[in-house]
Amino acid sequence: MEQIARAAALLGAGICMGIGALGPGVGEGFVAGKACEGIARSPENASLITRTMLVGQAVSESTGIYSLVIALLLIFST
């Protein structure tokens, strides 16, 4: 029974990281693309756009870090 629980925890950790990395990856790519478009349209605002983009990407990356923490808890809990 313990081996089934261990296998389920490892499977859950893999699924958690797979789905948890998908959202931030897509979101950060979308944000970076839009920032490039914004800089191309108004190069004089490049520093403001870049700073705002980096803050937004840091916030969206936090969900990926949370899924990593949950996956690590699943791996080392059993």
* Residue 77 pLDDT class (50, 70, 90 cuts): confident
Task: Give the helix ranges, DSSP H, for the chain.
Answer: 2-41, 46-77
DSSP 8-state secondary structure symbol assigned to residue 43: G
Q: What is the pTM of this model?
A: 0.77
**How far is residue 4 from each of residues 1, 13, 26, measured CA to CA in Å?**
5, 14, 33
Count Cα neighbours of 22 within 13 Å in the Cβ-side half-sphere: 6
pLDDT tens for each residue of 13-58: 999 999 999 989 999 999 999 999 999 999 999 999 999 999 999 9
* Residue 1 pLDDT class (50, 70, 90 cuts): confident
The pLDDT value given to residue 36? 95
Q: Could you tell me the domains of the chain?
A: 25-78 (1.20.20.10)
